[in-house]
Structure 1
Amino acid sequence: MRVLMLTIALAIATPALAVQPNEILDDPALEERAREMSKNLRCLVCRNESIDESDAELARDLRLLVRERLVAGDTNDETIDFIVARYGEYVLLTPRATGSTLILWIAGPAMFLAAFGIAAVYIRRRRPEAAPDTLSDAEKSRLSQLMDD
């Protein structure tokens, strides 16, 4: 019984979409476009939540703005560009790889490769300890003499 109740509770706990019925467009094709774009726009209040999932007032305003732009005839790219121009690149959940963000996209892999190269050079240059030189005949006889005593 407890397992069943836990399963039901987990099923109900899925993220609820915050889009209100009065926000939904009459045209299903435009609404689908708006929902797809909303999933890729960050709520500026909730940080790592899309505006499609957020109940924040600013997220609602952004959802309405997306729908206004689509009804006005903007393409998806024009709508996203308009919102980015207003709120900056931070509004995108997946920032574009252009300009200053290109440095951020490249920095991670570049640092990994640099660290790997430094480690490889360090390991390669590390010399094993030199093996002791072989003993001369005089040293061997002296050693055996000491061992016998």
Structure 2
Amino acid sequence: MMRRWLPFALLLTAQVDAPAPLADAQLSDPRQEAQAKALMETLRCVVCQGQSIADSDATMAGDMRALVRSRIRAGEPPAAIRQWLISRYGDYISYDPPLGAVTWPLWLAPLALLAVGAWLARGSFRRRR
């Protein structure tokens, strides 16, 4: 009987990581909080991969929000924080990756798809005549 309840007992006693102190608390200075919020909305959650760190409920996103807020509160400019996060996590963390050797397909793919679509539409219209 004890074996049957052991997994449930382990679930009840499992420790849950507490969120970072500034993960969900706003900064006291409204200007700094606005800077932090604007920056957090441009950074991708590395766990969720589809949400910004401002929108994500993941623990990692909370840690990143706390890091952004603490650095902004210390007076660091948002551009420097963004650059530090990109150097640590790579260009993927940014919703606006720079044009480079690795990211050029991301920038050119929409143009290539539009060109292919226009070419296919042109061929379709020519056949109808």
Q: Shorter chain as normaliser: what TM range?
A: 0.5 to 0.7
Structure 1 position 66, deviation (Å): 0.8
Structure 1 position 103, deviation (Å): 2.6
Length-normalised TM-score, structure 2: 0.66
Gaps of 5+ in 2: 1-22
Contact 2:91 2:98 in 1 (8 A): no
Structure 1 position 122, deviation (Å): 8.4
**Counterpart residue type for residue 40 of structure 1:** T
The DSSP-based 3-state class of the residue aligned with 1:54 is coil
2:41 aligned to which of 39, 42, 45: 39
Partner of 2:96: 95
Aligned counterparts of 1:108 and 1:49: Cα–Cα separation in 2: 21
Q: Rg: which structure is higher?
A: 1
Partner of 2:24: 20
The DSSP-based 3-state class of the residue aligned with 1:31 is helix
Aligned counterparts of 2:57 and 2:125: Cα–Cα separation in 1: 54
Partner of 1:52: 54
What RMSD in Å do the two structures reach over aligned CA positions? 2.4
| Identical positions, percent | 35
Aligned residues: 105
Identify which of structures 1 and 2 has the higher relative contact order when contacts are C-alpha pairs closer than 8 Å and 6+ apart.
2
Aligned counterparts of 2:121 and 2:47: Cα–Cα separation in 1: 42
Length-normalised TM-score, structure 1: 0.58
The DSSP-based 3-state class of the residue aligned with 2:50 is coil
Structure 1 residues 20 and 120 mapped into 2: Cα distance closer, same or farther (>3 Å)?
closer
Gaps of 5+ in 1: 1-18, 129-149
Aligned counterparts of 2:117 and 2:30: Cα–Cα separation in 1: 51
